[in-house]
Each structure stands twice: as structure tokens, then as C-alpha cells.
Structure 1
Amino acid sequence: MKIAIAGSGALGSSFGFMLQKGGHDVTLMDYWDEQIQTIREHGLTANVNGVIETIRIPIDKPENIQDSFDVVFMFTKSMGLRHMLKAIAHTLTVDTKIVCLLNGLGHAKTIAEYIPTKNIIMGTTVWTAGLDAPGKVHLMGHGPVEIQESDPSGKSETLAIVKVLQDCGLNGVYSEDVHFTTWRKACVNGTMNSLSAILDANIEELFSSTQTHAMVKEIVKEFAAAAEIDGVDLNVDEIVDYINQASVNLGSHYPSMHQDISNRRFTEIDFLNGTVAKMCEDNNIPAPYCRLITQLIHAKEEILGVK
């Protein structure tokens, strides 16, 4: 299968590494000059659950790539999705599938502005990744990657991509309700990621505080209220248990929002807690935790001079 990775940071590069190792023809797309140059000169090095290998893999800026692809995996930051879709438009055919594994909410509507709904596959993953240096990444955990087509006519192609993910060690799973899964994952990101960034703590440190557990439940209540507006039923206690279980295996991991803040990059807060705050407030539902978290993250971006 001919595959492009649109957004080749920590998670995108790690997926590209696994798919290329699995025998597929993979091209990485990114805008970070140092990442591009390093991978071109020295290859891509990945530490996958303690096993370190280096492979050769093509990488370039989207505008410079003339190939077309069977599948494009989207791994940009949420705020970079629209820009990337414009940049890769010339690589898309009438049959190219886009698999969106971005954090955050509302991405299917944005993608549908650029390609037919029948070509959109939405998904989530609980793989954790980090960018250790240009051209060097680590991938931790065991997945899964849950995906589902946006149009029923695309089920067979989605199942084929699930098999590719399984065969490449990425633990692909066919989701029967990816809309629910997306909201559940947003709850994880809207608690772990945002609180880790604000408190400058890894997951183990974060969840060692009794204050964290109280905050997590209040944040999830607000996410559940917003999800109900979107037609999704989230059981607060079940989601809190899911987050607590997920935290157990993450230990010293710093989530992506913490990584962004630490490297003075903009975060995805507006597509997580920010979206929940707006949805709730538009429907006269209080969302004080999500509103304050969004303000605190933006304040931190401003203090650090993020551009």
C-alpha cells in the first residue's frame, strides 16, 4: 500500500516507521527543516518499547511531493489540519482515503470540505510517542488504533486498513462507534494533557495528587455535558475509571500538550477544553473548569512567547 504521513512529528514519524518496516511504501510529510534534513541524511531512528532501530524513509514538504497515495494518515496538530489539507490537495485522487487520528473534536467537518465523505476514515489511538531529537522518536504502549469509515460504503477499505495496522504491529481495531471513541479520547486529552501542561508534571506525578482526581471528575462532567449536545452519551464514572486505568501504564510520560508548551509551540487546547467550554456556554451550561483551563493554557503560551 502507498501511504503518506501528513505531519511527521512524534506520533506521525513513529507510525511511518512501523508501516515502512511492515513492507509498505511510506512517505513522510512535514515542514520542520531540521527533521527533514536529519532523516534524509541519517534515517529515522525509533525506540519502540525499548527496541531501537534506524530505517531509511522518504521525507519532504507537502508541496514538493508529486506522488499520489492510497492512504494519507493525518498527524498534524489540530490547528494545522486545514493548512495541511490545502497543501496535500494535489496528491489526492478520487480514491485516496484520509485516516484522521488527530486529538480533539470537530475534525471530520473540516476534512469534508476538501474530500468526499466516502473517503474519510476517523479514528483514535492510545499509543504514546515522543520526539527525542530531530530524526529520533520513541513509541510506547500497545495501541490500539480504532478506526471507522464516515460513510458505510467505505467499510471494506477501512477493514483493509485495519489489517495493515494489525500486520505492522500497530494493533488496528475496527470501531463500531468511533464518535463515542473520539469523545472518550478527548476526555483523556482534556484531563491528562491539559493538567500536565499547566502543572509541569508527568503522568505519574500528576496522578499522585488527590487534587488531580477531584479535578478530573469535574472536567469529565463538563465533557459529558458537551458530548450530550453532540448526541453522545458519556457515563462520567466509567470515563473517570478509564482515565485512571490509562494513567497507570504511562508513568514518566509527558503528554503532547506538555511537550508543546515545553518547546514553546501552540497547543491544541481550543480543540479540547476550549471546544467543550464554547459548546456548553452556547447552550447555557456552566463549564468553569474547561473555560479556566483554556485560559490558563493560553496565558502560558503568551508568557512563554509562543509564536
Structure 2
Amino acid sequence: MKYTVLGAGAMGLRVGVLLQEAGFDVDFVDTWAPEVETIKKQGGVYASRDGLNRHLVPINISFPEDYNGDPDVYIAFTKQMGLAEMLERSSHFFKDHQYIVSGMNGMGHIEKFDQYFAKDKVIGGTALIGTVLNKPGDVDFIGKAGAGSMHLANQTEQPDETTHQIVADFKKANLNPTLTTNFMGTLLSKIIFNSVVNTLCTMMKIPMGEFIQSPTAEKLSRQLINEAYDVCEREGINLLSTREEEWETVKYVSEVGNPLHYPSMYQDFSKGRPTEVDYINGYIYDLGVKNHYEAKTHDFLRNLVHLAEFAGNFDLASYVESVQNS
């Protein structure tokens, strides 16, 4: 099948390049001018693995307005904040027969997909795959070849022939997909993981391996996991794993899978970009409020991240000058 990746950031490039290297026809579409223009000028994207073997991979990339391809499947990997713009600018080439697959962080994207695609063409997913975009046109795959995994689930929870073909293609590309028939449980399982690792590593500015070595890592993780599971139980969402298994996943991925990895939220934070905390910890808190339950730790962390974002972009010199002149 032919694939088009919407969002040529870290994860979009990794999934698309691996599919391309597995022999599939892949295009890339992005709205970020520095990324598109740099890749066009270079004739491709520079890819490395854990900082080594940096090499140029030729890829075909376009702005949405310039793209007229007809893929079988779209793979969406934009930030939640930029998805609406991406879909609107891309809508001229969407067709009824096409599917859309996503392993995006956070929640909020499914409702946007439903505005353009029939529910039986929407496949949600998760991606426990560490990747870093060093700069425009330069991506680093974290972990050994074949590292990481994905879970995929149809929005209708009824896999069809195309779904099974997508899973087979992803397996060929070493993305290690698992197909489930539990849509919300699949999506929320990754959100809970991210609500622990992404947020805490971002606040402390540390990689996952350093986080998990802390004597407080387990206590903080279990507190966040327990609140999130309490919320999901009230909403009637059956998660893929137990609370204990979720903690073991956090521990294993941080300790063994990607110990040197700084999560994507930290990558955004460190570059002064808005984070997706409202779509992760904030989503859990808001879902709890809907069910008359306050996940207070998640709300506290969300507000701490926003405070850190504000502080990081605050113009202290101008503030001091204004106070002195007042």
C-alpha cells in the first residue's frame, strides 16, 4: 500500500522512513516551512541512530497546498495543537477510500479526524518509540533497530482487511505493532504512560533513565497511575493493563528501553515551544471532573508545566526595567 505521513517531525519521519526502507511508497506532508525547505534543499533527511551513522535518506516532502497524491493510508504525527491546521490545509486531497492511522501523544485528535474521515477508516494508536528531531531535516532514532512498539485499534473496534494489511506492513517495517479491539483503552494506556514519564522528566529536565533511578520515582509514578485509573474506571474505560503492569511498563521503558531518551514534551519545552500537557495530564483531569472526581496530582503537574513554560519565556530584563521605571 501507499502511505502519506502528515507531520514530518521526529515520529513522522521515523515511521515513514522505516516504511520506505521496508519497500513501501511513502510521501511526507508538513506545514513547518523550515522542515520542508531544509529537506528539499538537502534532497532528503539526515537520519542517525543514537547519534551514530548519520546519513542522508532521500524522501519526497511537500506543503499541503502542493500535494496531490492519492495514498491508501495517511499516518498522522503532528502535535495536538497543530492538527486542525494540518487537516484543514490537507483536506483537498482527502478521499473517501483512504484510512488514517495515528500514534499521536495526548487526546483530542480523534474528534478532528472524524470531521474528515468515516469512523470505519480511523485507526488510533500508541507509539512507545523514542525519536528526536535535532533540527530541521535532521532526525535521530533512539534505540537499537527494532526498538519500541505500537498498539493499534480501529475506532469501530472491528478490524477489516485493510487494517490487517496495515499491521502487516508495520511489522515488515520493524515497528512492532499489536492490533487490539479496545479503542479507548488502547489510547488511554499511552496517555497514562506519558502523564508520568513525559511530564516528570520535563519538569526535572532529565532523561528517562535518570528519572527511574530516583528513590521517589515509584511513589510519584504510582500516585499518577492510580489517579488516572480511578478516572478511567469512572468513565467505564477498560485499560489494556493493570495498575501494576502500567508501573512495570514505566519502569521497563525508562530503565531498559530508552534510558537516555528525553521525552517529546521536554524536547518542546527546551526549545520554548508549547507542550501537550493539556492533552495528557489535563485530559485525565478534565475527564475526572466530568465524572465528579478530581485527579489533583495531574492538575497540579499541568499547572506546574505551564508555570515553567511561562518562566522560560518571561523577559526578565524588560520586567526589571519596567519595575525600576514605575
Judge conservation of contact 1:44–1:54 (CA < 8 Å) in 2: yes
SS at match of 2:107: coil
How many residues in Structure 1 have an aligned counterpart in Structure 2?
A: 306
The answer to whether residue 306 in structure 2 is matched with residue 304 in structure 1 is no
Q: Which residue of 1 aligns with 2:290?
A: 282
Matches within 5 A, 1:29-178: 29-42=29-42, 43-48=44-49, 52-141=54-143, 142-151=147-156, 154-178=159-183
What percentage of aligned pairs have identical amino acids? 28
Q: How far off is 1:132 after superposition?
A: 1.7
Aligned residue number for residue 269 of structure 1: 277
Contact 1:220–1:240, Cα closer than 8 Å, also in 2: yes
C-alpha displacement of 1:152: 5.4
Q: What is aligned with 1:238?
A: 245
Shift of 1:78: 1.5
- The alpha carbon displacement at 1:74 in A equals 0.5
Q: Is the 8 A contact 2:152 2:186 kept in 1?
A: no
Aligned to 2:204: 199
Matching residue within 208, 220, 229 for 2:234: 229
**What is the SS of the residue equivalent to 1:73?**
strand
Counterpart amino acid of residue 149 in structure 1: N
Contact 1:99–1:121 under 8 Å retained in 2: yes
CA distance in 2: counterparts of 1:106 and 1:9, whole angstroms: 19
Q: CA deviation at 1:52?
A: 4.1
CA change 1:176–1:279 in 2 (3 A) is: closer
Query: CA-to-partner distance for each residue in 1:101-154, whole Å, 9 max, x for gaps?
Result: 111124323311221101101111111100122211122342322212223565
Equivalent-residue separation in structure 2 for 1:152 and 1:282 (angstroms): 24
2:235–2:291: 8 Å Cα contact kept in structure 1? no
Identify unmatched segments of 5+ residues in structure 2: 315-326
In 2, the alpha carbon distance for the partners of 1:147 and 1:281 equals 28
Let me know the Cα RMSD of the aligned residues: 1.8
Q: Hey, what's the Cα distance between the residues in 1 that align with 2:64 and 2:79? A: 15
Q: Give the letter for the 1:109 counterpart.
A: E
Q: Report the CA distance shift for 1:237/1:171 in structure 2 as closer, same or farther (over 3 A).
A: closer
**Match status 1:2 vs 2:2:** yes
Task: Tell me the TM-score normalized by structure 2.
Answer: 0.88
Distance 2:130 2:253 in 1: 11
1:88 is paired with a residue whose SS is helix
The verdict on how the C-alpha distance between 1:284 and 1:151 changes in structure 2, with shifts beyond 3 A counting, is closer
Please report how far the alpha carbon of residue 237 of structure 1 lies from its aligned counterpart in structure 2 after TM superposition.
2.1
Q: 1:188 and 2:193 equivalent? A: yes
**d(CA) in 1 for partners of 2:65, 2:313:** 29
Partner in structure 1 of residue 324 of structure 2 = none
Name the stretch that deviates more: 86-95 or 278-287: 278-287
Q: Mean alpha-carbon deviation: is it higher for 47-56 or for 24-33?
A: 47-56
Among 277, 282, 303, which residue is 1:295 paired with? Answer: 303
Match of 2:23 in 1: 23
Cα distance, 1:23 vs structure 2 = 1.9
Question: 8 Å contact 1:46–1:137 — kept in the other structure?
Answer: yes
Per the TM alignment, residue 280 of structure 1 is displaced from its structure 2 partner at its CA by 1.6
Q: CA deviation at 1:253?
A: 0.8
Query: What TM-score does the superposition give when structure 1 sets the normalisation length?
Result: 0.93
- Partner SS for 1:28: strand
- In 2, the alpha carbon distance for the partners of 1:290 and 1:121 equals 27
Is the 2:253–2:259 contact (alpha carbons within 8 Å) kept by the matching residues of 1?
A: no
Larger radius of gyration: 2
Is contact 1:104-1:271 (8 Å) kept? yes
* Structure 1 residue ranges without an equivalent (≥5): none
Segment drifting more, 2-11 vs 29-38: 29-38
Runs of 4+ aligned residues of structure 1 deviating over 3 Å after TM superposition are 48-53
What is the distance in 1 between the residues matched to 2:136 and 2:83?
22
